[in-house]
Amino acid sequence: MQVNPLHYILNVNCLEELDFHLVRERLQSNSLVIIRGLISKYEIEKSIFKIKKYFRKENDNPTIGESPKDIQRNFQKLLVGGHTHSGLYLTRLFRTFYNPMWEEDIFEMHKIYKLMIRIRNLCSNYPEEFAISKIEDNGLWSATRIHQYPTGGGYFTKHKDTVLTKVSKENNISFYQVILNMTKLGKDFESGGAFVEIEGKKIIFEKEFDIGDIIIYDERTLHGVDEIDITKNLNLDTICGRITAFVSLYKDIK
């Protein structure tokens, strides 16, 4: 069966136009929804300019070893090699910029993050303002962050979001991953990109969807990132390749 990526797109002009009953129905039947029209390419360009301006390679922290409190501030780390989550060994190569809502808005992303968090909450039929600007009493907070997959091999092995799903389910919240397309295949990189597998077919986000599209998928979805421009030399010195944003619910460990 041929998968048509256009079937997953909902076009809206504002959040109030979005029918979340329909969104939840689409997610239940398809595991994937794309929301288009809420974030402009100009807003994304401004933020990427700020990311490139702010970036210093010497600010990279190691793959592991940070404390839970470290990532609750503006914090940069380079993830290399393998890790084990819920018994699964996964490998990856990407850089993360944690940028919590209570920290300085160094990338001019907080307005966008707020919109994404509201969408995540409303998808879960949860209070719209939940975990936007603080750590909630149950320890949940929104890990607003940027991922950069560098030219020359940035990637993430195919997987399901088992750990994040567990955090949500332990707090009786339906799990939905809400991410933002910030780059485009053919413009920002020449090969690779993020994907989901639907009915055994790959949908490449940066090929099929636009910069500014908000992508939502659930815990059933196999997804990953194919190597970015693998025929080029690895470039860890600049902000290049694939860039995306996340607003996942994390659990505060006290």
Question: Per-residue pLDDT tens for 1-38?
Answer: 466 888 899 999 999 999 999 999 999 999 999 999 99
In this structure, are residues 247 and 72 in contact, taking their beta carbons and an 8 Å threshold? Answer: no
Of the candidates 126, 149, 152, the residue with the CA atom closest to the CA atom of residue 20: 126
Regions of the chain with pLDDT less than 70: 1-3, 85-87, 252-254
Predicted local distance difference test score (pLDDT) of residue 86: 58
Predicted local distance difference test score (pLDDT) of residue 2: 60
Whole-prediction pTM = 0.94
Cβ neighbours of residue 136 under 8 Å, at least 6 residues apart? Answer: 130
Predicted local distance difference test score (pLDDT) of residue 4: 82
User: What domains sit in the chain, N to C, each tagged with a CATH number?
Assistant: 5-63+77-251 (2.60.120.620)
